[in-house]
Amino acid sequence: MEIRTIKDDEQVTETGAYRMSMALYHSQKVCPGPSISSSGIRKIVAESPWHFWSQWEVNPDRYEDAEESAALILGKAAHSLILGDEIFDEHFAFVPKDAPKRPTATQSAAFEKNGFWSDAAKDGAVWWAEFEAKAAGRLLLNETQVEHIMHMSENLRRCPEAIEALTGGLTEVSMIWQDEITGVWLKARPDVIPDNGFDFGDLKTFAPRTKSIQRAVHQAITDNGYAMQMALAIMGAEAVFGTTAQECVLVMAQSNPPYTITPVRLDEDALYYAKCLARKGIDTFSKCLETGHWPMPVEGIMTYSLPESMQHRYGEMQFKGEIPSLERNAA
């Protein structure tokens, strides 16, 4: 299938494979109707439709976007530097090691009140004002973050399975199609569509929350719904290329020392249930668009019950006489 190039002022009007900027891909301008990618579907399924709607660009009353976390900025920069999926200098600005400290909140408040900077804050305020003007809205990276990315890149090159999953084939290809069931537009953009036996390869950065890397990798994949992201890419391949996909690999790069690289193949069951969840997210998105109702995580009144382990513990304590046993009145 032909891969067309779409400019930022153009729009996709039919199912196909396209090359476009990341900004256009994520925007609602890219399709003639409402569209959603895996990040939105995962938010709807894992959090709630309200979580998605409250920050969706279509919502005129959406909440102000929160500042991107250091971990998210690091992940985006890693993609740019390691995979080259975005031109680094267009999206990131490097903060030199000798940059002066930013004015504190107290110093900024004093400036707002008095109209001038204190001697202690003046040099830093002037430097940062000039730097941010030159950065022009780009994400800021410090030297430590760049060092992390360099170490991840070095270790990735030591892992032949990771290289195999992330090289060759097609890169920066956006699959866009109209869902046959609901009519909504769907978008998927895996990092790589390899030509070496794998179907999709995707780089993910993570910071382990446990000493076991295997457990940390499983946790990161589950918590972030990465299998659902691959499932949507499979659905895209079926709609756009007329073929299916089975060999999907996530390359999990540890973003802190010792910067381990762990390629992970998603098995058949993981992809099957991820496709089921993705289908649920698409259907929910469509229903919310139709009704205008974007439910919060709990509708009605939530019932709290004791965790089973705590209930068992309290029962033992009562048996031992450590807490009193009170008679319950009959209803």
| Higher pLDDT, residue 77 or 251 | 251
Mean pLDDT of 247-254: 93
Which DSSP helix (H) or strand (E) runs through 121?
A: helix 119-135
Backbone region of residue 10 per phi and psi (left: phi > 0; alpha: psi in -120 to 50; beta: other values): beta
> pLDDT per residue over 108-135, tens digit each?
888 888 888 888 888 888 887 877 777 7
Exposure of 125 in the CB half-sphere (CA atoms within 13 A): 18
Structural domain boundaries in the chain: 1-67+157-326, 87-149
| Higher pLDDT, residue 262 or 146 | 262
| Confidence band for 329, pLDDT divided at 50, 70 and 90 | low
Q: Which of 36-50, 153-167, 216-230 has the lowest mean pLDDT?
A: 153-167
- Classify 80 as helix, strand or coil: helix
pLDDT of residue 22: 87
pTM, whole model, 2 decimals? Answer: 0.81
> pLDDT per residue over 71-100, tens digit each?
777 777 776 777 765 556 666 777 777 788
> pLDDT per residue over 163-215, tens digit each?
888 887 888 899 999 999 999 999 999 988 877 666 899 999 899 989 999 99
User: CB–CB of 172/152 below 8 Å?
Assistant: no
- Mean model confidence pLDDT for the chain: 88
| Confidence band for 301, pLDDT divided at 50, 70 and 90 | very high
| Confidence band for 325, pLDDT divided at 50, 70 and 90 | confident
Backbone region of residue 247 per phi and psi (left: phi > 0; alpha: psi in -120 to 50; beta: other values): beta
Instruction: Provide the edge-to-edge strand list for the sheet that holds 170-171.
Output: 170-171, 192-193, 200-206, 248-254, 261-265
Burial of 92 (0-12, 13-18, 19+ CB in 10 A): buried
Residues of the chain with pLDDT > 70, as a percent, come to 92
| Confidence band for 246, pLDDT divided at 50, 70 and 90 | confident
Instruction: List, in sequence order, every residue forming a beta bridge with 62; answer none if it has no partner.
Output: none
Q: Which of 75-89, 155-169, 238-252 has the lowest mean pLDDT?
A: 75-89
pLDDT of residue 93: 74
The yes-or-no verdict on residue 67 having pLDDT over 70 is: no
Q: In whole angstroms, give the CA distance from residue 327 to residue 318.
A: 12
CA distance readout (Å), 102 to 97, 98, 126: 13, 12, 10
Architecture of domain 1-67+157-326: Alpha-Beta Complex (3.90)
Residues of the chain with pLDDT > 90, as a percent, come to 58
CA angle 27, 224, 185 (to 5 degrees): 30
pLDDT of residue 192: 87
Instruction: List, in sequence order, every residue forming a beta bridge with 205; answer none if it has no partner.
Output: 253
The yes-or-no verdict on residue 39 having pLDDT over 90 is: yes
Mean pLDDT of 63-77: 72
| Confidence band for 223, pLDDT divided at 50, 70 and 90 | very high
The yes-or-no verdict on residue 310 having pLDDT over 70 is: yes
Closest by CA position to 207, among listed 153, 255, 145: 255
Q: In whole angstroms, give the CA distance from residue 295 to residue 41.
A: 14
User: CB–CB of 249/9 below 8 Å?
Assistant: no
Burial of 309 (0-12, 13-18, 19+ CB in 10 A): exposed
* Sign of the torsion angle spanned by Cα atoms 163, 168, 170, 172: positive
